[in-house]
Amino acid sequence: MPSLISRLWGVITGGDAGKTFPQQQGKALDRVGDMFVAFPYGLYSNLPNGQMFKVIDEDGRVILGLTVERPDGVAQGEVVVFHPGTDTKIHLTNSNELNIETSKVNIIASDSVNIDAPVTNIGVGGKKIALDGDPIVAGLIVASGTNKSI
């Protein structure tokens, strides 16, 4: 039978402590303490104050941040990484699409950015950035195949 500790819920009361392991202050049973936050491999979040967590160890020190919020339009079997506060999301669909919904996207690459697709549309629904054959003021833009406008 699980102990009382492993059935505890609490709330985050402080930001990431900047220590070796992800550690944040939390409150459960009216006791405030430093909690070790567990994340799946490759994922991290500095949980906001007031965020619910579930205690997952017998000592009451390891927690998982949880939310009851979820994005709309997610079919069974699909995966979404999202920010509950802003509704920014990366959606991996069952139809083999990757959809990114946000107000701004920054790509930072130390070498290059490559897009390899039969058709590449940039500026769809808005003003075109440049057309194949247009004079370019700076840099190099090369269009090939069916990629005639970018």
| DSSP-assigned states of every residue in 54-98 | EE-STTS-EEEE--S---SS--TT-EEEE-TTT--EEEE-TTS-E
Mean pLDDT of the chain: 83
130 in the same domain as 83: no
54 in the same domain as 101: no
11 in the same domain as 61: yes
Pairing of strands 62-65, 89-92: unpaired
24 in the same domain as 51: yes
Q: How far is 45 from 64, CA to CA, in rounded Å?
A: 11
**Above pLDDT 70, what percent of the chain?**
77
12 in the same domain as 61: yes
Which carries the bigger pLDDT value, residue 26 or residue 60?
A: 26
Give the neighbor-by-neighbor strand order of the sheet with 98-101: 79-82, 89-92, 98-101
Which carries the bigger pLDDT value, residue 118 or residue 33?
A: 33
52 in the same domain as 12: yes
144 in the same domain as 120: yes
Q: Does pLDDT of 58 surpass 70?
A: yes
Mean pLDDT lowest among 49-58, 67-76, 131-140: 131-140
Q: Does pLDDT of 143 surpass 70?
A: no
CA 108 centroid distance within chain: 16
86 in the same domain as 134: no
| Predicted pLDDT of residue 133 | 64
99 in the same domain as 124: no
Phi, psi of 107 (to 5 degrees): -110, 120
74 in the same domain as 60: no
pLDDT band at 7 (very low <50, low <70, confident <90, very high): confident
Please count the structural domains in the chain. 3
**Above pLDDT 90, what percent of the chain?**
45
- Using alpha carbons, list the distances in angstroms from residue 52 to 8, 93, 125: 11, 28, 40
Return the CATH number at 49: 2.40.50.140
48 in the same domain as 16: yes
Which carries the bigger pLDDT value, residue 126 or residue 115?
A: 115
Q: Does pLDDT of 128 surpass 60?
A: yes
pLDDT (mean) for 76-104: 94
Q: Does pLDDT of 3 surpass 80?
A: no
Range of the domain at 95: 69-106
89 in the same domain as 54: no
